[in-house]
Amino acid sequence: MANKPYLVVEWNDTETDAKGWMCAYNFVNHYCGGGTRMHPTVTKEEVIRLATTMGYKYKACESLTTGGCKAGIAYDYKAPDALDVLRRFLTATAPVINAGVSIGGDLGVDYSDVLRILDDLGIGIPQTKAMKEDPDIHQGIVNHDRAEKELTYDGFKMYDMITGYGVAAAADEAWKMKGGKEGASVIIQGFGCVGASCVNSLNNMGYKVIGIADVNGLVYCKDGLDIPKLVATRLPKGELNKESFEDNYEIYPNSQWLEKECDILIPAALEDVINKDNADKIKASLLVEAANIPTTSEADEILRKNGVDVAVDFISNLGGIRIYEAVIFRLVKIENMSDEDAAAAIVNDTTDLIRKQTRRVFEESKKTGEFTRDVARRLFTPDKSDTPDM
Ligand SMILES: NC(=O)c1ccc[n+]([C@@H]2O[C@H](COP(=O)([O-])OP(=O)(O)OC[C@H]3O[C@@H](n4cnc5c(N)ncnc54)[C@H](O)[C@@H]3O)[C@@H](O)[C@H]2O)c1
């Protein structure tokens, strides 16, 4: 029962071939949250799997107020009319959103675009009846607006960095739990919001980032890439800027990102990229999942057999939902703080929680010998859905 999604809505665009789905996996306190992605390969099954993962993620987030949901649109996010397609999808699904399905951004969809469209539709931040009547939540929404529009951290907008910095915290905690050496080497797939901020944080912590793959290829340097330069010069939609490559950088097809020797491997782009055809090629001893559902169940069996530890997606990348949770539901009250203190308070709240949950999983796995994903799923099974607030 608990593993069936509560609600799945399907949409067909009238102007293009785009299709979309919205899945509320479970409502907790009549509310659920998750992102909207846009990519040509999105399917209904993928949206349901992603919504399910969100249910686990809110549990790992210790949320008493929110369950998991997800939306996905099968369309090219680079198409000139991608924003129009997003607008039509959100218009069609507005009644569901208004019932307490709080939809944000994800792969190929900027959160600020979603917020602008929801504002135009007169929804703003989706809320339950109880939230609408709670002045404390109103202050939380004002604070959220400030965090989204005004606050920055390490030169990134807060919503662009929080997930990546959380992933970096998970990687650091898991690596320490494994007794790993300092200055461990890292290869990442994806250089978007999550990938770029994640490598920035890891670089700040002293890790050596030796490879980054984007949609165009893999850039690799065994002595370490110049992360501040690559981050500062990155192109829109998470593309590396080749003008910033040094002479000693090597370029490979992006399919080679997971075969190279490294200590920590981080998928931060697409789902199912680690599968039965390539999992055996992984040389890293730690896989840190920044993307949602990047590993298939067949690949998990191979990783388990090969002794590769996994810091699972629904803990490592929960930063994007924790910031919302912490600010709107008043776990972190920033109204009387300076911008700098507010940003630091939000980042500390997120990274402390991710470190704590990562430590719990790795400690338990050490004790019982179970695969880390099995431990994480056992510890953070989502609650059965309650209903929307109509
Ligand atoms: N943005 C968030 O806050 C957030 C939160 C939780 C999870 N995630 C997950 O993290 C992943 C990345 O999200 P994002 O917001 O950084 O997306 P993004 O759109 O900003 O960036 C996507 C990146 O993936 C790269 N990419 C696309 N196809 C590729 C391929 N075939 N090979 C290598 N790289 C490829 C793109 O070049 C880009 O660098 C997604 O799986 C998303 O669901 C994001």
* pLDDT of 155 strictly over 70: yes
Q: 124-133, 352-361, 366-375 — which is least confidently predicted?
A: 124-133
Q: What DSSP string describes 165-208? A: HHHHHHHHHHHHHTTPPTT-EEEEE--SHHHHHHHHHHHHTT-E
Structure confidence by residue, pLDDT tens digits, 181-221: 999 999 999 999 999 999 999 999 999 999 999 999 999 99
Query: Quick one: the chain helix, strand, coil %, rounded to 5?
Result: 45, 20, 35
Q: Is 91 annotated as a binding residue?
A: no
Domains of the chain: 5-131 (3.40.50.10860), 155-378 (3.40.50.720)
pLDDT beyond 60 at 255: yes
* pLDDT above 60: residue 137: yes
What pLDDT shows up at residue 107?
Answer: 87
Q: Which atom of ligand 1 is nearest to the CA of 163?
A: 3
At residue 355, the pLDDT reads 98
Distance CA 264, CA 188 (A): 9
233 assigned binding-site residue:
no
CA of 194 to the centre of ligand 1 (A): 7
**SS3 for 9?**
strand
Question: pLDDT at position 1, please?
Answer: 41
- pTM reported for the whole predicted model: 0.93
What tokens does 80 get? 């000139």
Residue 149 pLDDT exceeds 90:
yes
Local confidence band at 244 (pLDDT 50, 70, 90 cut-offs): very high
Ligand 1 pocket residue status of 143, Cβ below 6 Å = no
Q: What is the mean pLDDT of the chain?
A: 96
Which residue is closest in CA terms to ligand 1's atom 6? 317
Query: Radius of gyration of the chain from Cα atoms?
Result: 20
Active site residue 242: no
Q: Calculate ∠ Cα 181-182-186, nearest 5°.
A: 90
Predicted complex ipTM exceeds 0.95: yes
Residue to mutate, 41, 50, 69, 107, ligand 1, most ligand atoms under 8 Å from C-beta: 107
339-368 and 135-149 helices cross at what angle (nearest 10)?
100
Average pLDDT over residues 248-265: 97
> What would the pLDDT profile of 90-117 be if each residue is shown by its tens digit?
999 999 999 999 999 988 999 899 999 9
Would the CB of 295 count as within 6 Å of ligand 1?
A: no
| Ligand 1 lined by 253 (C-beta under 6 Å) | no
> Is 163 annotated for ligand binding?
yes
